[in-house]
Structure formats: C-alpha cells, structure tokens
Structure 1
Amino acid sequence: MPGDPNPNIDLLYKDPSQPMNIRIKNLMDQMTLEEKIAQMAQLDRVAATPDIMRDFSIGSLLSGGGSVPREEATAEEWVEMVNGFQNGSLSSRLGIPMIYGVDAVHGHNNVYKATIFPHNVALGATRDPELVKRIGAATALEARATGIPYVFAPCIAVCRDPRWGRCYESYSEDHKIVEQMTEIIEGLQGELPPNSRKGVPYLGGKDKVVACAKHFVGDGGTTNGINENNTVIDWHELLSIHMPGYYHSIIKGVSTIMVSFSSLNGLKMHANRNLVTNFLKGTLRFKGFVISDWQGVDKITYPEHANYSDSLLKAINAGIDMVMVPYDHTEFSTIMLSHVKNNLIPMSRIDDAVKRILRVKFSMGLFENPIADYSFVDELGSQAHRDLAREAVRKSLVLLKNGENADNPVLPLPKKTSKILVAGSHANNMGLQCGGWTITWQGLDSKNLTVGTTILDGILNAVDPNTEIVYSEIPDSEFVKAENFSYAIVVVGEPPYTETAGDNTNLTIPEPGLSTMKNVCGSVKCVVVLISGRPLVVEPYLSSVDALMAAWLPGTEGQGVADVLFGDYGFTGKLSRTWFKTVDQLPMNVGDEHYDPLFPFGFGLTTEGIGV
C-alpha cells in the first residue's frame, strides 16, 4: 500500500548538503509510477484529506476562490489546516511534502482580514514597478501568515480589449508596462542572487512564496475580448505583444507558469506542444513547472470533460507538468497510468514533469521546512501593509476631468465647508470597492465583506470635524436641490465579477449609477468617482459632471481615495489603458492606425500646485 513505511528507503534526497540534481535523482529512482503521477496532481482542499495525501502522495493542494477552512477563519486556523494536510503527505512512503497554492492576485484575497490591494489595472496606472515589488513582498508575508507557500500570481496578460472579463487582472494594453510590473515576482519570491541561471526556479527565504506567471499565452488578445476564446494572431505579434512578460518573468526566476484556457489560432493552449514544450521549455529555457488552469485540461475537448482521457493525453504530451484536477484524483491517476502503460505518454514525459515539480520543491526548501509555523501570523492585514495599499490607491487614481478648464479646477476639494453630499452605490460598500477575486471567486456586494476602510469612511476621516457629511446612496434630485450642499461626491461603478461573468459588450455604467449621477450632478457641483475594472462609456455624461476620476478597484484601503480628493496628495496616475469613446471602436489600442480615443493612453491630469 502506498502509505506503508519502508525501512529500505535511501534518504539521500533528504540531505540538504547534497547537490539538488543528486537529491532529485535519488528520490525519483525510488518512486513508483503511481507516486510520480500523483505528484503531477493538484487537488482542491475540499477533495482531499490527510489520509488521501498519505496514501496517494498527492503533489499539491489549492484553495480555489472561496475555498476556505471556514468563513472568517483566522491565520492560525489556516496554518493548522495546511499543516494537517502536510502531515499526511509527510507520512507517505517517501514523505514527499505537498505544495499548497492559492489565488492571491491582489493581496491574499481569499482570506478574511487580509490586505486587499488595488487590482492590476490600477497598479499599471501607477507606472511604479518598485511599488508593485513591495506589494509582492507584502502579499508573500500575508500568504506565509496562513502557512501557504505558493500563489497563482502575477497575471501578466496584455489585455487588448476591455470587454474581456479579466481585463482588470492585466496591468496594461502595452506590453512594456506589463514587462516592468514583473518586478512583483522579485517581491513575491525574492531577488535572484548574482550569476543565477536563467529559467531556474528560485525562492529567497521563509518569508517568500513561489510565484506563477499566467496565463500562457495570449489570453488578453481573444476575439472580441471573449473569455477563454480564440486569439487570432501571427507569430510576430505574439512574440512582440503577449510573450515579453514571460521572458522577463523567467529572467526573474519565476518558479511556475500557468497555461491559459484560451486558444491560439484555433488550438487550445493546454494542448499546444509547440509553445509549451518547444518554445517555453526549449527556447526560453524555463526550468520550473508548468501548471494547468482550473479544469483547463478538461476543456480541451468539448463538451467539457466529455473525453477526459483524450484531453489528458494531449495536455501531458503538450508539456503540462501539474494538472489542477481539482476534484477526482482517482480518475486522473487511472487514466494516466493507462496512457503510460499503453505507451501513449512516454515515461520520459512523466519524468520531466516530476523532475520539474521536485526542483521547485527542493528550491524552496520545502523538504527542510515543510511545516508552517505561526511566526508570520501578525503580518495578516498588518498596518504596514494597509499603509502600502493606501499608497497604491493614491498613486493609481487617474484624474480625467477637473472643471471646464485649467483656470477653474474643482479638485482638490475643501475639507472645511458647510455640508457635503456623498452618494452612490459604491461609496460605502467594501465588496463593490474590492471587486472580483475577493473572499469569494466572483466577489460579493457586501459592505462587511472584509476588514478595511470604505471610501465614505475615508471622506469622514479626511474632512474638517465641523463639516457635515450627508450620505444618501440613491438620492432624488429634489432632495439634492433642497439641502443646499456645498458639493457632492458620487461614487458609482461596476458590480464585482471575474472571468466569463465579467465579459461585457456594452460597458455602460450600470444602474443605479447613471440615475444617481443624473439626480445629483444636475443639481449641485459634483465629483464622480468611478469604480471599475476597465474604462466604461462616459462620453455622454462628461459634460454634466464637474470632475471625473478613475479609481479602478482600489481594494480595502478607501482612505487613499480621500487622500487625493482633498489634496493631501496630488493626482499622479496615468492611463495604462486607452479610454474609448464608444464600444464600436473596440478593440482600440495605442499605436493603432485609426486611434481616436476619448482619453489617450498615458492621459492623466494633475493637481500639483493647486491649493485647497
């Protein structure tokens, strides 16, 4: 039985003084085919038990979006859960530790009380790779606070069409900005030592985590921005637009790369041997492991999972090393064993996959330190990380309109005045402010989603104590006119979403946002704060608002919005995405022949030198 102890095991692979290649060979020489295949499986925690980890030597676990030990679980509870599974793995025949992964795409976003940073679309507007590197380091600490050593970040997609539901996960439509933002990898994993070999995975210490560049490759270029759809592109465009981020990630020592759900010129990326094996592993010399997306292998054939056997055959032979199964490890193992025994998957392909997985595990010191401790629990949602997130919010805000002309600006707003109206669905709602990939996969419309400061909280903290703040989520115009407000701040935008649920062909500001803008901005001087994962249609309403700012999806630290509204800091953000006039123009990106935006790439007004 796989879990039975064996006194004849050669434990050379557990000796950290031995060269890594010696340790890997020693361990692999003692592994059965079943154990090798099990190392290639990643299960969601709901499909695993410590006994399963022990008896089958499963290689990896993950928490998918919202897969948590319990609602509002503490850091200590996360550590206990992860260690429970790990103790199962360590009790297996060879004691190979599992690696636990999680989606931490804007902070440790599954976890209650974690710091939620602005989404990537906002970070691209900062033009500040050093800031993003610090965010990576903070995210690593918060992941380690819960005992987790592996995060599925960064997303280095180059979103070429804002109709795509994952566009906010992309730093920019411009590959140069995406390249710069791969600095986050050094924040997550640590800085590579001098003279490190290109393509070899690296982890800089117990306060760092294994990173994952995703989604290889071309996910941001699908036709009409449809999620998981087909990217039609020639080789030159692929190399010049969508590939540079991977090259830069590999140079920085990224340990894992995730394959995209999408297709490239009609071929599913999960089945694309030319790109995964020949180019990524061959030409780019990537030595870490390649992981599938969630049930990404299942989707090679249609309908999904209809021919899982054929899908697995294509995916593994294409070069995928670890399969995010994520539920049924016995089906996975049975099919894989059959394919190998029938010579459909060569043993060399299995050994390549396992060698890569073990290389990452040895590189990160997982064999020496498999059990998480409580030394980082205080890092979860720490004040230092919240201050960093607040800084990121400030730097990401893009001012699109500030009065009718430069001689008569609306912003910054005076803190001391008689009465201010704060309105809009997004002014006092943490869930709307954070967007998708927050606590749950799709995010939630909930004021109490997690711990943080709403934009209304930030405004209340910023103004003079004698200034009256009136909050009305959806005020009518008669109320606004009757109350004699000095001015109004209207916070509206998109609901939370992610992936296909966010695909949108009209990109209008959803109700009640438009009605709130109409009721308020026609009656009093108003500043509109737009909360969205991408540019939205604003041209028809631009003349009726006095000032407009893109706040993107700022995360838990809404105080950063107030910092800039009231002039404690100036606006510095610049558009990393083209702001279109109408959706009929899409896709439209900087450098296109017929480029006619409402606000061009790089646009952003400043308030420096303007007094309150």
Structure 2
Amino acid sequence: MSSKNVAACAKHYVGDGGTTKGINENNTVINWHDLLSIHMPGYYTSIIKGVSTVMVSYSSWNGVKMHANRDLVTGFLKNKLRFRGFVISDWEGIDRITYPPHANYTYSIQAAIGSGIDMVMVPYDYSSFIDGLTFLVKNNFIPMSRIDDAVKRILRVKFAVGLFENPLADNSLVDQLGRQEHRELAREAVRRSLVLLKNGHYADQPLLPLPKKTSKILVAGSHADNLGYQCGGWTIEWQGFSGNDLTNGTTVLTAIKNTVDSSTNVVYEENPDPKFVKSNNFSCAIVVVGEHPYVETKGDSMNLTIPEPGPTTIRNVCGALKCVVILMSGRPVVIEPDIDSMDALVAAWLPGSEGQGVADVLFGDYGFSGKLPRTWFKTVDQLPMNVGDPHYDPLFPFGFGLTTEPTKAY
C-alpha cells in the first residue's frame, strides 16, 4: 500500500445547506423529491468516486435529527446507495440529538448507533461513551450485528488506505508545504475565481483594467491589508483571525504595490474621511471591504450585510472618486444601494493567502473570467432564491460574470 493515500470525507449529510433561514444546525424543511434532487447529488457522485467516509449533519430533516435518522443513514445511504465506507458523527454530534445537548446521553448513544453511525466523534469524555455503549450492547438495546457492521466498515477503510502497513503520517513532504509552486497555483485559483459584477456605469466606459502607471492611487478598507480577513474561518484557528502575523502570504495592498509602475504613488488609508479623499488629488481608488471571518453559528446572519466601517468607507470614497470595490465574503451579501456609487465591483470571495491574484486581473495582466456559483439577491426578503423559481428576480443571476481581456496597461 502507498504511504500517501488519503481517505476523503463527504459532509454534512444531508440537507445541511438548506436549513430554515440558513441558520447553523437548524431544520431543513423539504419534501423527499427535492431533498434527493437538490441536496443528495453530491453524495451520489462522491460514492461513485470512492469516498471513504460520510459525516452526518448537526441539522434535522423535517424535524428529525440527522444523527438519529435511520431511514436516511442506514436505509438510503448504506442500503440504497450501497455506501461501503463508514459513517462518522460530527463533533459532539450525538450529544445534540437532545435539547439541551447531553440531556439524555444513553438515549443519544442508542439513537445514533441505531441510526447507522459507525464512528462517533467524542472530543472529551470518551469513557462515558464507552460505558454507555457497552451497557446498551450487553442489555440488547443495540444488537451485536450493528457493532459488527460498524467495525467491519471502519476496518475496511483502514485496510484500503494502508493504515496497518503505514500507521503513522508520512512527514517526508512537510518541507514542500507552502513552496512557491503551490503558491503560484493558489494565485491562479484566485485569478480564475474572481467575479466581475460591474465595470463602469456604462458598458462602453469600463473602469477595469486599471492603468499601472498613474499619479496616485488610494487604497482603502478594512480588508486591504489583512491576511486573516482574506483567508476567513478555519484558518490557523477555528474562527480564523485578524492581521498578518499568523501565516505567510500577500495582502491585496502589498499585491497592488508589487504590480503598479514604480512612479505610481500608492496611498493606504484604512478608513479615510471625505476630506482626506477629496483633498489628495487621487486618480482612482481601490476599496477592499467585506465580512469578518466566521465559522458555523458565528456566521448566522439575518441581514447579510457587511459590518461597519465597510459601508461607510465605500460611501466616503466612491462618492468622490472613481472607485473599484473588492468585496471579500463567503457568500452573496447586501450591496444595494451602495453599488450605484461604485464604478466597478469584484466579488473576491475569500482569496486566501495569495492576494497577488487579485492585482493580476485588476491591472490587466490577466482577464476576468469567473462566474457566479450562486444567485446574488437584491434583498434578504427574496431568500431562498434559486434558478427556476417562479419569481426569479436577482441582482445578478446564477452564472453571471463580466469579462475583460488581458492588456499591458501602462
């Protein structure tokens, strides 16, 4: 067996992306047909491709916790789809079968294992889980055949990836992490994922690409010089971080300075006031704002607006100068009515460590080519909104994205 095998995990099974109001760990209210057609296709493909594990979602389907849903875990995933790997719980997932969590742990163990979960993620009090499971098996609440099935599936995956031949991680490639070749690939991914949503107030008067040689460029915004904000959640720390101290990379500000002509003066002011903007004879402005990093429940939002001072920075700058707004977010957010004041708008998502990819297209070394992977709404009152809905009226439709041609803009 190779020492470089990887066991992939498909998650979070199933309907995790369809919860009511998008709230983390909430209830997905949907009929059987739509569950299969909207939320299940990724699992069909994953299983066909040989995924080794499937993680169950904290969420519920029509009121039934997925961690206790035998029909979907055993009946459909294992029996109907013939998934042969193992099913794993989420972090303390079985505890949350009850509310409050851990209120009846014996019941939670029985419901979870009985539903078809094979491996349970118990980060702290594993002895209580072992004692509870042992009691339930010895007293015939959980049949030994269920334990045998779980053990068989876990061992099958371990044998398949060669864990018994190579039980420890292979560290021989550690020094390859973060090498320049990898950073160049990440930079290309940034270039190709950026979506140009607006370019000029009129189609025949585009703002982008910007000239590399100009007198003075204002760079503003909370996200212009912040690697943590570029990377988002699950980066170094669970909820991500703010600043430039915890990982290596290139901020958008540094990327701009690297790209423009040596004679171009780049002035950075994170939150400029109107007087500063109007009194410095800037030729144009680049405003970089967006969401702060978040993971799971911290990302729940009923308004989907970007936090201050982002909107104020946009108004202060774009009301006085020709400006392009670089928007960093993990999802579409509210951009009306401020979009009217912007000359150009780029959805940069979470570009990660390689901010140079943003400057690559901003100044025309490469063209914009990205397309929206989901519909961009006008107001949150329209949500949920998807292609095919009877009253589909987005700000930007699914698949939208303006293009530019590469140019040597001097």
Q: Same fold, TM exceeding 0.5?
A: yes
Q: Which amino acid aligns with 2:208?
A: L
| Structure 1 counterpart of 2:370 | 573
- Identity percentage of aligned residues: 73
| Structure 1 counterpart of 2:152 | 355
| Structure 2 counterpart of 1:483 | 280
1:270, distance to aligned residue in structure 2 (A):
0.3
Alpha-carbon distance in structure 2 between the residues aligned to 1:388 and 1:320: 37
Trace 1:227-376 onto structure 2 (pairs within 5 A).
227-376=24-173
Q: Deviation digits for residues 558-604 of structure 1, max 9, x if unmatched? A: 11101010111111110111111111111111111110001111110
Q: Is 1:377 the counterpart of 2:171 in the alignment?
A: no
| Structure 2 counterpart of 1:212 | 9
Alpha-carbon distance in structure 2 between the residues aligned to 1:234 and 1:285: 22
Q: Normalising by the residue count of structure 1, what TM-score does the alignment of the two structures yield? A: 0.66
Alpha-carbon distance in structure 2 between the residues aligned to 1:254 and 1:379: 26
Q: Which amino acid aligns with 2:259?
A: A
1:304, distance to aligned residue in structure 2 (A):
0.3
| Structure 2 counterpart of 1:39 | none
Alpha-carbon distance in structure 1 between the residues aligned to 2:141 and 2:4: 42
Q: Deviation digits for residues 78-119 of structure 1, max 9, x if unmatched? A: xxxxxxxxxxxxxxxxxxxxxxxxxxxxxxxxxxxxxxxxxx
Q: Is 1:464 the counterpart of 2:261 in the alignment?
A: yes
Match among 211, 219, 223 for residue 422 of structure 1: 219
Trace 1:5-404 onto structure 2 (pairs within 5 A).
205-404=2-201
1:448, distance to aligned residue in structure 2 (A):
1.9
Alpha-carbon distance in structure 1 between the residues aligned to 2:182 and 2:92: 33
Q: Which amino acid aligns with 1:602?
A: G
1:321, distance to aligned residue in structure 2 (A):
0.3
Q: Is 1:589 the counterpart of 2:363 in the alignment?
A: no
The DSSP-based 3-state class of the residue aligned with 2:278 is helix
1:611, distance to aligned residue in structure 2 (A):
6.3
Aligned residues: 409
Q: Which amino acid aligns with 1:465?
A: S
Change (3 A) 1:382 1:207: farther
Contact in 1 for aligned 2:216/2:283 (Cα 8 Å) = yes
Contact in 2 for aligned 1:507/1:583 (Cα 8 Å) = yes
Contact in 2 for aligned 1:537/1:581 (Cα 8 Å) = yes
Change (3 A) 1:562 1:205: farther
Alpha-carbon distance in structure 1 between the residues aligned to 2:5 and 2:208: 40
Q: Which amino acid aligns with 2:400?
A: F
Match among 287, 293, 300 for residue 496 of structure 1: 293
Q: Is 1:541 the counterpart of 2:338 in the alignment?
A: yes
Alpha-carbon distance in structure 2 between the residues aligned to 1:496 and 1:372: 30
Q: Is 1:410 the counterpart of 2:207 in the alignment?
A: yes
| Structure 2 counterpart of 1:112 | none
| Structure 1 counterpart of 2:249 | 452
Deviation larger for 453-462 or 375-384? 375-384
Contact in 2 for aligned 1:429/1:448 (Cα 8 Å) = no
Q: Deviation digits for residues 438-492 of structure 1, max 9, x if unmatched? A: 1111111222231111111111111111111111101111111111011110000
Alpha-carbon distance in structure 2 between the residues aligned to 1:491 and 1:605: 19
Q: Which amino acid aligns with 2:369?
A: T
Alpha-carbon distance in structure 1 between the residues aligned to 2:175 and 2:111: 45
Alpha-carbon distance in structure 2 between the residues aligned to 1:444 and 1:215: 24
Alpha-carbon distance in structure 1 between the residues aligned to 2:406 and 2:361: 13
Alpha-carbon distance in structure 2 between the residues aligned to 1:424 and 1:325: 41
The DSSP-based 3-state class of the residue aligned with 1:552 is coil
Q: Deviation digits for residues 295-350 of structure 1, max 9, x if unmatched? A: 11000011101111100100000000000011111111100100000000000000
Alpha-carbon distance in structure 1 between the residues aligned to 2:211 and 2:32: 54
Contact in 2 for aligned 1:533/1:553 (Cα 8 Å) = yes
1:610, distance to aligned residue in structure 2 (A):
6.4
Change (3 A) 1:358 1:580: same
Change (3 A) 1:460 1:611: closer
Q: Which amino acid aligns with 1:570?
A: G
1:290, distance to aligned residue in structure 2 (A):
0.3
1:373, distance to aligned residue in structure 2 (A):
3.8
| Structure 2 counterpart of 1:530 | 327
User: Which residues of structure 2 form unaligned runs of 5+?
Assistant: none
Q: Which amino acid aligns with 2:305?
A: T
Q: Which amino acid aligns with 1:518?
A: R
Q: Deviation digits for residues 362-403 of structure 1, max 9, x if unmatched? A: 000111111234311122112121111111110100001000
CA RMSD of aligned residues (A): 1.1
Change (3 A) 1:599 1:328: same
Q: Which amino acid aligns with 1:549?
A: V
1:557, distance to aligned residue in structure 2 (A):
0.6
Alpha-carbon distance in structure 1 between the residues aligned to 2:247 and 2:336: 34
The DSSP-based 3-state class of the residue aligned with 1:469 is strand
Alpha-carbon distance in structure 2 between the residues aligned to 1:428 and 1:278: 50
Alpha-carbon distance in structure 1 between the residues aligned to 2:377 and 2:20: 18
Q: Normalising by the residue count of structure 2, what TM-score does the alignment of the two structures yield? A: 0.98
Contact in 2 for aligned 1:397/1:549 (Cα 8 Å) = yes
Contact in 1 for aligned 2:364/2:406 (Cα 8 Å) = no
Change (3 A) 1:582 1:610: farther
Q: Deviation digits for residues 504-544 of structure 1, max 9, x if unmatched? A: 01111210101111111111111000001111111201111
| Structure 1 counterpart of 2:236 | 439
| Structure 1 counterpart of 2:309 | 512
Contact in 2 for aligned 1:213/1:256 (Cα 8 Å) = yes
Deviation larger for 446-455 or 306-315? 446-455
Contact in 2 for aligned 1:423/1:489 (Cα 8 Å) = yes
The DSSP-based 3-state class of the residue aligned with 1:306 is coil
Alpha-carbon distance in structure 2 between the residues aligned to 1:596 and 1:235: 26
